[in-house]
Chain A
Amino acid sequence: MHQLNIDTLRMEAKRQLAQLKSLLEKAQQKGLVDEPAADDHNRATFDTQSITKVLEVLDGENYKLDHLDMVLAVVGTMKAGKSTSINAIVGAEVLPNRNRPMTTLPTLIRHTPGVLQPRLIFEKVQPINELLATLSQAIKLVNQEVLLELQNDEDMKELLIQIRQQTFFVSQHEGAEDIFRFLKGLNDLVRLCFTLNVEFPFDAYAIVEAMPVIEVEFSHLKDTPVTQGRLTLLDTPGPNEAGQQHLRHMLKDQLKKASAVLAVLDYTQLKSDADEQVRESLMEISYTAKDRMYALVNKFDQKDRNGDDGAAVKKYIAQTLMKNAMAESSVFPVSSKQGYLASRARNELERNGKLPNNECWVEDFGKERFGGMWVDFINDPQMVKAGADKLWQDSGFSVPLEQVIFEAHRNAAMEALRSAASKLDNLAKDTGNFFKANVGSLKKSVAELQKNIDRLQQDIENIAKIEASTEEALEGILQSTQIKIETASAGIQKEVTEKIESYFKEGKTAESDNHQKKEQRKGLSNPKEKTTQSDGFFGTALASFLGSKREIKDSTLDFDPSSPIIKFDDRAAAQDFIKRIESSIKTLMDKAESDCNSCIQSGIDNFSIEFDGHRINALESIKESIKRNLDDFDIIVHLPNTESIKIDSPVTSLMKSAIMEKTRTVTKHRRQDGLWGTICGWFDTSDWGWESYQGSEEYYEVDINKINTSSRKGIETLFISAHSILNKDIVPQLQHGVEEFFSAFREKVENVRGDLISGVKKHSLDQARKAEILATSSEMAIEAAALEKDCITLNDSAETLRYKESPSSTRLEVQV
């Protein structure tokens, strides 16, 4: 079959851009384009001001088609080997990898042919240099103990000297060592900020332009023609890293734009506690980068005889962890370390014919490949070459590398194409309408024109009405969603209370039994205690349960059925009790969270349906009316893209991060506690009503009131989070979507009206000039109409191709 190929579409896009550009320039030269109207609402489709912008857009799209910008984002869990993977792709150590978190700021690594010695450019040093001054003040206030500890840390010592001397960071760093030192310094700086409780200026780095960029030739791409585009890798801080919250939006944005996403997971940590967390972050990424996502399961060299083999790993990730949101064929067990060592050795051999003498990576390489006898082989280039090739093979890195880069190239080309095609489609339609309006206006009398202008004004006002009613609908849905959340919240609170109540009863029964045993052991006859009216929180409930009244205290170990304190004299029993409450509460919390999620999600869904309805029906009718109102103009006002409104993250992950934000202070301390840490975080407390006392008699107290309060607070946090994402995240996005759509639509109609208004002005020109303008406009209207068709075809083809499975573009040459 005649399959269209992306290169042809790209050339066609370039042709259309050139055609449209020349058409618009001609219109300008022939004096068809007026000065901008004084009133913004009367502006024509093109005026001398807006046409310049349009021409710039066309040039920009053309540039992007010529210079494909491929961004390969590398994401992954902490210490999974993101930086090592990047080093493997580059074939040199451009990023430090150590056994502690190293990447603090997202960093770009850009393939720059011919640059063998990597160089780092970090324009925006001012904020961190200002930070040096702040830190030097903060250090003076810190206590001696902390300072001593800092000074014992070799890396910190260096930084402390830098701060004392106020040696500024510079913007350019040449060579791996210098780059390494700089990035390490940056890392230390962030760590120090945390220790000293000084804000690191993350916000200053929350835009891509502010990221550090390392330029270097990637050994695997050195023979790739420049026309294939420019590959940039993006190293990201681990998801738990400090500052992640600040940079979250930018990172998300970057993932959205990335040509491919490489998720690096740690084979040795696969089934650990962090499992759920990994899954969630992968899910979130796959939400934005569905078909562009690959997973490297790194450190596969650590696999022992009993470990999962490659096939099992692929299956586990794709099916179990990702619940089929990812294909098995996109999962690759690799050893980035081996990949890096092999690729660096090969690179080195190619450049210098031998490996350098005293660099530690050579030893790593030698040992990895030749074991203890490595020294015997390392100076034999042939052995080294063969060894490196074998290691590269063993690393399993070449297949994913080839595929990911290939995919990135394809996607970048596709992205550039789609962007150009959709802009062309829109602009060509505008252009067509512009000329048609020009022709039409000159053929009509001023009076007729004025009538059309007035009718269009009616349509513009109608659009405003529809917009208002859409906003009303949004408001209504927001309110009902809020009510649903409230109801869910009250329901859960009730359940929690009941749950705790029943635990309280259970605890008290145990305590009472215990107490009795003890009393008996003590030989004290204390039958049928008199009890009084309870005033404790659960007193009433308990009283009816135990069928007894409040006891009159007469000993330190008195049993008080109404007291919120439950006493245990066995640590294990107390702990077990707490554990069970925890787990019940956790179940309820999960339920609450999922309730919130579904309330919000259904709110969004309802709104989408509502919105689509509004748009399609009402706006189609406006479109119709415009068509009727514009006598013989043959102008079709096209609706802005009718894609449904979409939230930029799944609700579940929005919810997760909102909760995390609310409880950040707590989680910071409790991070090590794993799953429970998070739950405690929700309770927003570190004191969960649990204490032990050591005295003459060892006993353990569980304060049910505190547990109740904390649990309530936890649930509250959850629902506050729900309201907050609804109000701060979701509604603004929906509102924005509505606004954007309507203002784009209104502007289109206003522009057509503006075209007619400037048509009225043209009537005051002399006959000869009018005839000339009419002739040119007619001719150009025909050309524009033809181009319009081609643009639609291209746009459709680009979209079709995007969904085709087998890429037909020429394969990118990657030396692997």
Chain B
Amino acid sequence: MSNDLAPITPNSTLCQTLSCLQEKFVVDFANSIDVARDHIRVQRQRTGFFARMYDGFTGKGARRQTEINAGLVDGVEASLKWLTELTESMAQSNLAITQVNDRVSILSGSMVELSHYSVDTREQLKEMAYRLDKRMHDMTQEISRIDFIQKAKLNIDITFSKWEAGRFSVLSPAARCYAAMEELHWGSLGDYCRCLENPAHKRREFLQLVIDRSTKQLAVDAAVELQTPAEMATVWLAAPSISRSSNGIDMPQALSWLADQMTIDSTPFIYSAAHITKNLPSKVPLIAQARRIAEAMTHEIFPLETLDA
């Protein structure tokens, strides 16, 4: 089996390196449950990254392959069970839980109108909604507590030490920066910064720290001096020649999947770092200093507006 098809399991190196993958997976999983058609929309492409995670995370790897080939899909009831399990075990962030919660509310709403679901299923959903709600409530409280700051700091430290230690090294410098951003986005820092109760100055301070550390690491990685502008295409976006390890292919794919909601227009830097494009988005400069990239990426992930609000 080629790497392109191999299931990605929670304890794979990739998931260890990018802990945000499981968070996003849970959210995507929730969003893929379609009650109206009583099935789950797993991306059909055999190379689809979500499909590979689905296989790896639901442990159905080989067995599912035949099902997929046969065009069979899981039913809603089974999926909800999985969702519950996954949410409990995998989703750590407020961001993930909030989004799953949103999806569950929608599902509940739709299910009311559909008669063919069993009482059991409806109950299951209600139960889930309740637990999610509770978790969210607890988390919100936790996030606004003063000691959550430590968690946010830890998130930053772990993320940058991964980057510094070369664990993103199969990626281009800009993509490494993006990987770090996603780790922060789905991590405690993200939760901290999105919580408007937290003081704005503190949130700004954190983001500035992120920008500074990214700037430094970008410059080090590309061997470019801090003040020296370098070409986007040949320096910042230049990936090292692909390594033979599965990581060499999987990590860029993972990034591309992480960025599947990103658009050229609103997040051009991330878009160009995460996806292979022929031309640079028109909002991305052809030359830039490390800081410019760090700032742009940080603010694409943590929009300035949310800070001022």
Contacts and interface: CB of A to CB of B under 8 A. Distances in A.
A635 to B, nearest CB: 17
A796 B229 contact: yes
Contact-size category for A: 20 to 34
B287 A797 contact: yes
Interface in A1-30: 2, 4-5, 8-9, 11-12, 15-16, 18-19
Contacts of A782: 304
Contacts of B157: none
A15 B282 contact: yes
Contact of A2 (B224, B282, B285): B224
Interface stretch (A394-402, A448-456, A704-712, A785-793): A785-793
A607 B235 CA distance: 47
B281 to A, nearest CB: 10
B138 interface: no
A793 B224 contact: no
A786 B231 contact: no
B230 interface: yes
A796 B227 CA distance: 10
Q: Which of A4, A9, A782, A796 has the most CB of B within 10 A?
A: A4
Interface string B200-237: 00000000000000000000001010001111001100
Given A786-B296, A793-B292, A19 B229 contact: no
Nearest to B269: A786
A208 B288 CA distance: 39
Contacts of B304: 782
B67 to A, nearest CB: 46
Contact of A4 (B231, B292, B296, B305): B231
B292 A2 contact: no
Interface in B264-294: 282-283, 285-289, 292
A2 B288 contact: no
A793 B285 contact: yes
A790 B234 CA distance: 17
A782 to B, nearest CB: 6
Contacts of A786: 283, 296
A798 to B, nearest CB: 10
Contacts of B224: 2
Contact of B230 (A4, A15, A789, A790): A4
Given A2-B224, A2-B235, A4-B287, A18 B282 contact: yes
A805 to B, nearest CB: 17
Given A9-B287, A797-B287, A789 B292 contact: yes
A796 B282 CA distance: 21
User: What DSSP secondary structure best describes chain A's contact surface?
Assistant: helix
A11 B285 CA distance: 10
Contacts of A790: 285, 288, 292
Which of B286, B288, B292 is packed against the most chain A CB atoms within 10 Å? Answer: B286
A726 B304 CA distance: 56
Interface residues of B, number: 19
Nearest to B233: A8
A432 B245 CA distance: 47
B287 A8 contact: yes
Nearest to A9: B287
Contacts of A793: 229, 285, 287-289, 292
Contacts of A18: 282
Given A2-B235, A786-B296, A19 B286 contact: no
A685 interface: no
Interface in A785-816: 786, 789-790, 793-794, 796-797
A788 to B, nearest CB: 11
A339 B48 CA distance: 67
A19 B282 contact: yes
Nearest to A22: B282
B289 A2 contact: no
B283 A2 contact: no
Nearest to B235: A2
A342 to B, nearest CB: 42
A254 interface: no
Given A2-B224, A789-B292, A797 B282 contact: no
A633 to B, nearest CB: 14
B286 A797 contact: no
Nearest to B268: A786
A786 B291 CA distance: 12
A8 B231 contact: yes
B283 A19 contact: yes
A9 B286 CA distance: 8
B229 A797 contact: yes
A794 B286 CA distance: 9
Given A786-B296, A790-B292, A8 B230 contact: no
A778 interface: yes
A16 B285 CA distance: 8
Contacts of B230: 2, 4
B58 to A, nearest CB: 41
Nearest to A14: B286
Contacts of B292: 789-790, 793
Nearest to B296: A786
A778 B296 contact: no
Nearest to A782: B304
A15 B233 CA distance: 14
Contacts of A2: 222, 224, 228, 230-231, 234-235
Nearest to A18: B282
Given A8-B231, A8-B286, A18-B282, 13 more contacts: A2-B230, A2-B234, A5-B231, A12-B285, A12-B286, A12-B287, A15-B285, A19-B282, A790-B292, A793-B285, A793-B292, A796-B229, A797-B287
26 contacts: A2-B228, A2-B230, A2-B234, A2-B235, A4-B229, A4-B230, A4-B231, A8-B231, A9-B287, A11-B286, A12-B285, A15-B285, A15-B286, A18-B282, A782-B304, A786-B283, A786-B296, A790-B288, A793-B229, A793-B285, A793-B287, A793-B288, A794-B285, A794-B287, A796-B229, A797-B287
9 closest Cβ pairs, A-B complex: A12-B286, A790-B285, A2-B230, A793-B229, A2-B235, A797-B229, A8-B286, A12-B287, A11-B286
Interface of B: 222, 224, 228-231, 234-235, 282-283, 285-289, 292, 296, 304-305
